Amino acid sequence: MRETQTIPLAQVQRQLQLCRQLRALLPGEEGRRTAFVDTYGCQQNEADSERLRGYLQEMGFSFVQEAEGADLVLLNTCAIRDHAEQRVYGNVGALSHTKRRHQEQLIVLCGCMARQDHVAQRLRTSFPYVDLVFGPQLLWKFPELLWEKLNSGKRVFATQDVPGTVAEGIPQVRGSQVKAWVSILYGCNNFCTYCVVPYVRGRERSRLPQDIIAEVQALAQAGYREITLLGQNVNSYGKDLNLGIDFAWLLQQLDQIPGDFILRFMTSHPKDASPRLFDTMAACEKLAPALHLPFQSGSSRVLQAMNRGYSREDYLEKIQQLRARIPEVVLTSDVIVGFPGETQEEFEETLSLIQAVQFDALFTFIFSPRKGTKAAALPDPMPKEQKSANFQTLLQHQNAISAQRHQRYVGKEWTCLVDGQGKDGRLTARTRGGRLIHLQGDPALIGSWQRAYIHDASTWALFGTIAE
Ligand code: SAH
Ligand code: SF4
Ligand code: F3S
């Protein structure tokens, strides 16, 4: 479905009213009602879970860290690879036990998996204790769907294909007081041939600039230090609004908001990442010197089969353009190994691309066929073992590159945002470029910008102390 549905504010307010009415129907005592929210997948889903928690809080829930004993369990699922789905099925299976011990427990499954017909079918037949299932477009309606479930006593499946929605005014319970996610557009129009996202998240639709600006202003005033703008392809921001604005324009507006915060964004699509974006990144003070730019494959033939809309040469040229403007930029990327029909020579082109670019970090995936996508129907002759071997080779090459890239931090001081504390008691921090630092220091520093002296580095992280 192509249309976008803007949900009127009155509709969202009605949901909030329903939240208060639901308090009389929900399991658990008022004041002691607990929910466990389990989130899978990308930052979009994390951001969605913050809104689901917002609604749940209005219903009187507080949050716990495990399903056992919780009055409501909500799984916000991801469909990007088979592995993600199998984990969800495993965890839904285990809920039959928590529910047996707590008959009143409500089990809700939402997110990207819920928009797939075969998943809905399997939940209907194999998991009879799942009470409510709804896709990402209907998140705004969660209270109403729960209301329907509790009043009818029947399971509710709201998994149909509906137009992509944009809803403002949903309350949020944010996971951090230092870092915040801000969705700027939803859905995707790119139909990369391996990817399920356009099917489960619908077409691209942008939030209005004034809504985004107001949200960032409020976060800055509340003292947030890192704000990450989210979208499957942030470079498409504004195209559907017909206001003559684009992503670079939005960045310029947000850069002018007063506050001691840094701005990040993800994800950028190489076909739309332009010199105009790179110029804006270089010019805007608050923008992190970092870009996550997934290349997916080093072979132009494979890129075409993936419907990515750029060649190997185009990609390398963009990297050059970016580095010419921001030499110290931290570059990260995603890559898929074993796309159907990828030859050994083509895999080697991926290896040579990562050598040529020298990414700071790389997220590597083995191709996973997704029902309904074009690539799932392509002949895929390369044996699994070969794909795994290639995957390992790629990891080894990248690990060496990452370790070497990290060496440039050692023996110097870097500005960083202290954002938390690890299990081992050390602080965690991020450089402006986004590299992780394990830091010796006082937990009172969490939420502040500091100078860190880096004395050591590994493939994954830097090690430092607060500089005098
Ligand atoms: N919108 C982002 C990516 C979202 S999904 C973009 O276009 O860059 C995150 C990553 O998962 C993708 O970049 C891709 O590398 C990987 N991925 C997506 N579908 C996949 C599949 N079917 N099998 C393996 N990896 C996949
Ligand atoms: Fe998937 Fe491609 Fe859209 Fe990214 S741009 S979400 S990989 S279809
Ligand atoms: Fe997964 Fe949906 Fe994100 S499929 S990666 S949670 S958009």
Ligand 2 pocket mutation pick from 188, 201, 368 by most atoms within 8 angstroms of CB: 188
Residue whose entry in the numeric block shows the structure tokens 């285990």:
94
Closest by CA to 99, choosing from 88, 91, 111, is: 91
pLDDT tens-digit series, residues 145-196: 999 999 999 999 999 999 999 999 999 999 999 999 999 999 999 999 999 9
Low-confidence ranges of the chain (pLDDT < 70): 1-2
Q: What is residue 1's predicted lDDT score, i.e. its pLDDT?
A: 47
CA of 112, nearest ligand number: 3
Q: What is residue 4's predicted lDDT score, i.e. its pLDDT?
A: 86
Determine how many CB atoms are found less than 10 A away from the CB of residue 272.
18
Q: Residue 435 in contact with residue 408, Cβ under 8 Å? A: no
Q: What is residue 2's predicted lDDT score, i.e. its pLDDT?
A: 57
Question: What distance in angstroms lies between residue 13's CA and the mean position of ligand 2's atoms?
Answer: 33
Closest by CA to 135, choosing from 147, 125, 127, 123, is: 123
Q: Residue 16 in contact with residue 168, Cβ under 8 Å? A: no
Angle at 385 between CA 384 and CA 386, to 5 degrees: 90
CA of 77, nearest ligand number: 3
Q: Please give the backbone phi and psi of residue 249, each rounded to the nearest 5 degrees, phi first.
A: -60, -45
381: exposed, middle or buried (Cβ count in 10 Å: 0-12, 13-18, 19+)? exposed
Q: What is residue 285's predicted lDDT score, i.e. its pLDDT?
A: 97
Distance CA 249, CA 175 (A): 28
Q: Is 188 in the pocket of ligand 2 (CB under 6 A)?
A: yes
- Contacting residues for 221 by C-beta, under 8 A, at least 6 apart: 259
Query: How far are the Cα atoms of 89, 92, 101, 105 from residue 98, in angstroms, in the given order?
Result: 15, 10, 5, 8
Question: What distance in angstroms lies between residue 292's CA and the mean position of ligand 1's atoms?
Answer: 13
Pairing mode, strands 413-421 and 427-431:
antiparallel
Q: Is 78 in the pocket of ligand 3 (CB under 6 A)?
A: yes
Alpha helices in 274-421 (DSSP H): 275-283, 300-305, 312-325, 344-357, 384-407
pTM of model > 0.85: yes
249: exposed, middle or buried (Cβ count in 10 Å: 0-12, 13-18, 19+)? middle
Determine how many CB atoms are found less than 10 A away from the CB of residue 101.
9
Q: Residue 259 in contact with residue 221, Cβ under 8 Å? A: yes
Residue nearest to ligand 1 atom 9, measured at CA: 334
- Contacting residues for 426 by C-beta, under 8 A, at least 6 apart: 438, 439, 440
Question: What distance in angstroms lies between residue 258's CA and the mean position of ligand 3's atoms?
Answer: 32
143: exposed, middle or buried (Cβ count in 10 Å: 0-12, 13-18, 19+)? buried
Q: What is residue 225's predicted lDDT score, i.e. its pLDDT?
A: 98
Distance CA 261, CA 92 (A): 39
Determine how many CB atoms are found less than 10 A away from the CB of residue 420.
14
- Contacting residues for 357 by C-beta, under 8 A, at least 6 apart: 295, 316, 319, 331, 333
